[in-house]
């Protein structure tokens, strides 16, 4: 990308802010663990389902995530690797939590896509990948689980190129797979990387070579495998696209590394790749202008709110992506939506579930701001300029159910709990204009279980979800007189969401078409921008 942007201050230029995307079970949590291990953030990588609290996975901290071994809340972690500062945003891989992931991807500059060597590209990977493509995010690919039975390397690369319509260039090439997996040949640096099977937390040895004809290769690789390796790499160099930094930055070419996260193999090469080829903090769009990370004044936006991270304190933490400037603790920033200054006195940086007060942060960093409900998803904080970051989507839910407290006297408490979850972005909460109770909308059925268990654990409120007569929700927009007319003639279909915006609830697509047909100037939309 040849551009005339100012060069970034070294502190900002060394930052790499990225997310890891994957289908459930491709090994994303394990990879995240190993990143933290090699970044020196944790001493021992615990397996997801290993026994003993001491070895619980560090990036999954909600009880339900620990019980099920799935990541449902995207958390952000910062750590140093060599001279770089990595800001890694963990995303839920489970498809029922995809909206959270879409929003997380608005806060990063690149993504690492993890695929399973045996299963290849799976449905959820495809969905997440499409979001990355919408934003032209640079993507690095890691093909995991090569130490189990995996498919042919060319097949895997072909499948990615066909299904995801992106060029793939091998950064490393696997030697054998399953039981015979020995390691990889590093195609960028012409080195042999061997896997150690003795200790999962130790990196195998690396042998420097003089190309593929180096006689040292024969000391480490059986003759038949060596011959296949030479043939494969020759074919790959003929048939596959060459390594091209600009195409990677533009998001049209993805370098692929092969390895086994659980055996710590290939992980450091991938981290090195993110450091060398991943983008520096990028400019971000607002409703008024583009914000460059090198600007002196601090700006940032909230892309996630997490309630009750510490159940004892009922706290809420807003995750803020800094878009520009050098932030210092205690700064007064303008909260654009509220139009009021807000002093940020106890910002935190996250190292897995440990948080530390931070004295400063730079563009590209993600800081947590503890607050009591002032900050919501989509909010902008600046040093005075009234701008709003655009492109943080909110989607119409696909499943609607009525939520009631088992104890009818507790309905006030229920309202408070549901509003918290709505502001956190965990669910949509609609208050019907007629009748009591709340209608909760989610993307996937598993979210109802998570909500019920969290409301009970965090608020001591047993609740039940019951089928609702409605199946879809659309936001009402358009000319005020026309909208009022629709509201008055369709009272039984009208509700408000937690921002107070009008929503039309219905069972039938026919209803939606009818409203738009009979009322000029009224539109019913399935997404709304999280800008207030």
Residue 343: exposed, middle, or buried by beta-carbon count in 10 A (0-12, 13-18, 19+)? exposed
d(CA 60, CA 64) in angstroms, rounded, equals: 9
372-375: long-range contacts at Cβ-Cβ below 8 A with a sequence spacing of 24 or more? 372/315, 372/316, 373/316, 373/420, 373/423, 374/335, 374/338, 374/342, 375/302, 375/305, 375/316, 375/318, 375/320, 375/335
| Angle formed at CA 48 by CA 60 and CA 313, multiple of 5 degrees | 25
Quick one: pLDDT at residue 194?
A: 83
CA 492, 497, 500, 506 torsion-angle sign: negative
Strands 139-144 and 253-258: parallel
Rounded Cα–Cα distance for residues 337 and 255 (Å) = 41
Residue ranges of the chain with per-residue pLDDT less than 70: 1-6, 40-75, 92-99, 124, 197-204, 307-315, 351-355, 391-394, 529-532
Query: What pLDDT shows up at residue 309?
Result: 58
pTM: 0.75
Burial class (CB in 10 A: 0-12, 13-18, 19+), 202: exposed
In three state form, how does the secondary structure of 432-473 look? ECCCCCEEEEECCCHHHHHHHHHHHHHHCCCEEEEECCCCEE
Q: What are phi and psi of 262, to 5 degrees?
A: -65, -30
Tens digit of pLDDT for each residue in 409-429? Answer: 888 888 888 888 887 777 889
HSE (CB half, 13 Å, CA atoms) of 343?
Answer: 2
pLDDT at 52: 37
**Are the C-beta atoms of residues 307 and 71 closer than 8 Å to each other?**
no
Q: For residue range 486-527, list pLDDT tens digits in order.
A: 888 888 899 988 888 889 988 888 888 888 888 888 888 777
């Amino acid at each position: 990308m040849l551009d005339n942007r100012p060069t970034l201050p070294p502190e900002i230029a060394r930052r790499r802010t990225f997310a890891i995307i994957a289908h459930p079970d491709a090994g994303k949590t394990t990879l995240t663990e190993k990143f933290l291990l090699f970044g020196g953030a944790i001493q021992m990588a615990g397996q997801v389902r290993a026994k003993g609290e001491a070895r619980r996975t560090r990036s999954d901290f909600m009880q339900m995530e620990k019980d099920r071994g799935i990541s449902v809340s995207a958390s952000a972690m910062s750590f140093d690797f060599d001279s770089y500062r990595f800001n890694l945003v963990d995303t839920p891989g489970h498809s029922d939590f995809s909206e959270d992931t879409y929003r997380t991807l608005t806060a990063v500059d690149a993504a690492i896509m993890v695929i399973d060597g045996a299963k290849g590209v799976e449905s959820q990977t495809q969905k997440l990948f499409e979001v990355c493509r919408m934003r032209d995010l640079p993507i690095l690919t890691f093909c995991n689980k090569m130490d189990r039975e995996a498919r042919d390397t060319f097949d895997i690369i072909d499948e990615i190129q066909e299904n995801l319509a992106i060029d793939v260039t091998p950064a490393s090439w696997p030697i054998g797979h399953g039981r015979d997996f020995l390691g990889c040949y590093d195609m960028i640096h012409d080195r042999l990387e061997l896997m150690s099977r003795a200790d999962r937390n130790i990196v195998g040895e690396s042998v420097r070579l003089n190309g593929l004809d180096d006689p040292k290769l024969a000391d480490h690789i059986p003759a038949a495998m060596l011959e296949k390796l030479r043939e494969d790499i020759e074919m790959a160099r003929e048939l596959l696209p060459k390594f091209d930094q600009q195409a990677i930055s533009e998001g049209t070419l993805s370098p692929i590394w092969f390895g086994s996260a659980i055996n710590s193999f290939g992980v450091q090469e991938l981290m090195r790749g993110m450091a060398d080829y991943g983008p520096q903090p990028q400019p971000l769009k607002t409703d008024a202008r583009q914000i460059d990370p090198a600007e002196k004044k601090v700006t940032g936006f909230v892309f996630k709110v997490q309630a009750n991270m510490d159940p004892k304190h009922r706290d809420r933490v807003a995750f803020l992506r800094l878009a520009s400037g050098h932030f210092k603790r205690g700064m007064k920033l303008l909260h654009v939506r509220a139009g009021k200054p807000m002093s940020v006195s106890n910002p935190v940086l996250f190292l897995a579930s440990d948080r530390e007060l931070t004295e400063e942060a730079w563009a590209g960093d993600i800081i947590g701001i503890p607050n009591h409900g002032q900050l919501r998803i989509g909010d902008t904080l600046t040093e005075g300029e009234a701008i709003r970051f655009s492109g943080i989507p909110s989607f119409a839910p696909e499943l609607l159910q009525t939520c009631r407290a088992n104890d009818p006297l507790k309905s006030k408490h229920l309202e408070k709990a549901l509003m918290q979850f709505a502001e956190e972005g965990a669910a949509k909460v609609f208050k019907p204009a007629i009748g009591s109770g709340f209608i909760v909308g989610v993307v996937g059925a598993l979210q109802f279980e998570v909500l019920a268990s969290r409301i009970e654990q965090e608020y001591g409120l047993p609740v039940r979800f019951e089928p609702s007569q409605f199946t879809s929700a659309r936001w009402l927009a358009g000319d005020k007189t026309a909208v009022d007319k629709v509201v008055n003639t369709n009272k039984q279909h009208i509700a408000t969401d937690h921002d107070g915006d009008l929503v039309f609830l219905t069972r039938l697509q026919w209803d939606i078409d009818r409203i738009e047909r009979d009322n000029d100037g009224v539109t019913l939309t399935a997404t709304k921008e999280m800008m207030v």
